[in-house]
Amino acid sequence: MAASIETLLSEISELEDPIDELKSLRTAVFSIPLSALRDTPCCTRLDVIFARLNTTDREQIDVCVEVLGRVLQAVDPVHVAQNCRSELQIGLNHPHHAVKVLTLTQIGRIVGNSEAVTQILNSPEILRNVIHCIREEKMSVAKEAISALCKLSNSKAGLDALFRSDLLKELKRVMSTSDIIRYRVYELIVEISSVSPVSLGYCADSGFLSQLLGELTGDDVLVRVTAVEMVTNLAQSQHGRQYLSQQGIMDKISNMIIAAESDPFSSLYLPGLVKFFGNLAIMDSPQQVCENYPAFLSTVFSMAMNSDPTLTPVALDTLGVLGSTVEGKQVLHKTGEKFKSVLKRISQLARDGATELRVRSLEALALLLTLPVEQQTDDLLLLTESWFSCLSSQPMDMIRNISSQPFPELHCGALRIFSAIACQPWGQRLMVATPGFVEWVVDRSVGVGKEAKDCKFELVGALLSSSSTQEIMGAQTYLRLRTYLKEGPYYVNAVSSVTTEGAD
């Protein structure tokens, strides 16, 4: 095979129109394992294939990109950095986006390698061209450029190169291209800032972060929406949250939520503000966030009761995430009748809303009602039981009716609610008291498709995770559940048939 590749490379370098030979080479390199490909002439004669990218023939370019994409996987990034610098430079300026993506991917490999990265650090022109790729029309090119620069910034030398050299001016120049490009640069800055307090310090010193935070209160509503999303991403790290707190951003966003009541365009950015605090509550403390910023929870309740299709889904998701923790459940419980009204609204949406809202309502209810065995106390069990009873005068029948509808997402959503209450003694008592429910649980003909079978299996597993199941549901039911679990989710009862063909 190596001999045939050598022959093909020679022909490719000599022929004026080598498309057939390139296709043969493509077949050859994809038929060889990467470990064996390293020892073929392809890896030492990369220049032959790179040279054939200098064409306007789209097919030839595509074949070359495929070949190089495969071969370069087998080549050490140090070798690429040392021997293909001019090819990388040409690739970054190639008119075809696939070539740029290929080149940026290789630069990403190089800057992610501690030995190879110095080759790029000593080539500021290559890094300048990578920065220019952020403003490419094709998003695939921009994303690879951002990814490569993020990898570069994982080292102090990389941070110095990007933020303490002329490259910083280049980045700011690119940033001024348009609103879209500005937010691509913000995306890069937020990703770099999230790595460590040190990298955040570089980004803060550069002025990019203060510029981003200033966008939160800009006149352009759409710009504000994007800024909130970026700031939410920055808050994913502890040092990011600390920085935002020091800059007074939590108070600023809380004030934006309050002011949104009188803003006719608030539905555009309010979901983002709520998501910000929802993420903050989960990562830090639901109680602290809800107590320090009361406008947040009040707004979530209002959004849940609202009929605006852009607001309700975010409220449902936020309540589900908040109520998934014990502390979050207690925070919601403290609001008393306010939250019970919200629960009834969620129940109504689960029964009568549009399909997407029904699914999200069921997901929220499952999270709110979930209480693992190790977290069960008398008070918390009373809490989840009272919430379940708020859903309907006959909540078991309501959820059962939803599960019987011919929509897999609704069927599985209902099953997840049953799984949530299955390990709680009060839930088991309700199941036993509901005629035909236990038989329905172990009936494998109920629910078609892998997801439905997995959800039913999860329900059985939840029942068996509780020490009270055998006592409440009885030894016979307990044995049937254990048999179901042992057989697995996809067990099929074998039915033997006796043929009478040819009998007298």
Q: What is the C-alpha separation between 414 and 419, in angstroms, rounded?
A: 9
Q: What is the pLDDT of residue 499?
A: 45
| Separation of alpha carbons 82 and 84, rounded Å | 6
Tokens describing residue 11: 């022909």
Q: Which positions ≥6 away from 277 have C-beta within 8 Å?
A: 253, 254, 257, 289, 293, 296
pLDDT exceeds cutoff 50 at 502:
no
Nearest in space to 211 (alpha carbons), one of 243, 182, 254: 182
- The helix/strand count (H/E) of the chain reads as 34, 0
Buried b (16+ CB within 10 A) or exposed e, 368-402: bbbbeeeebeeebbebbbebbebbbeebbebbbeb
Contacts of the segment 32-39: beta carbons below 8 A, 24+ positions apart: 32/1, 34/73, 34/74, 35/74, 37/70, 37/71, 37/74, 38/74, 38/75, 39/2
pLDDT at 78 over 60: yes
Residue 156 binned pLDDT confidence (cut-offs 50, 70, 90): very high
Any idea which residue has 């909540």 for tokens?
395
Which band of pLDDT confidence, cut at 50, 70 and 90, is reported for residue 56?
Answer: very high
How many angstroms separate the CA atoms of 309 and 357, rounded? 9
Residue 19 corresponds to which tokens in the numbers above? Answer: 């498309």
Mean pLDDT score, 274-291: 92
Q: Above 90 in pLDDT, residue 5?
A: no
Q: Residue 69 contacts by C-beta under 8 Å, 6 or more apart in sequence? A: 102, 105
As given in the structure block, the two tokens for residue 298 are: 């009040």
In sequence order, which ranges of 153-220 are alpha helices (DSSP H)?
A: 156-163, 166-175, 179-193, 197-206, 208-214
pLDDT score of 1: 52
pLDDT digits over 222-274, tens only?
888 899 999 999 999 999 999 999 999 999 999 999 998 888 888 888 999 99
What's residue 308's pLDDT?
86
Amino acid 501: pLDDT: 46
Q: How far apart are CA 383 and CA 189, in angstroms?
A: 44
Convert the pLDDT of each residue in 362-399 to its tens digit.
999 999 999 999 999 999 999 999 999 999 999 999 99
Q: List phi, psi (to 5°) of 474.
A: 95, 150
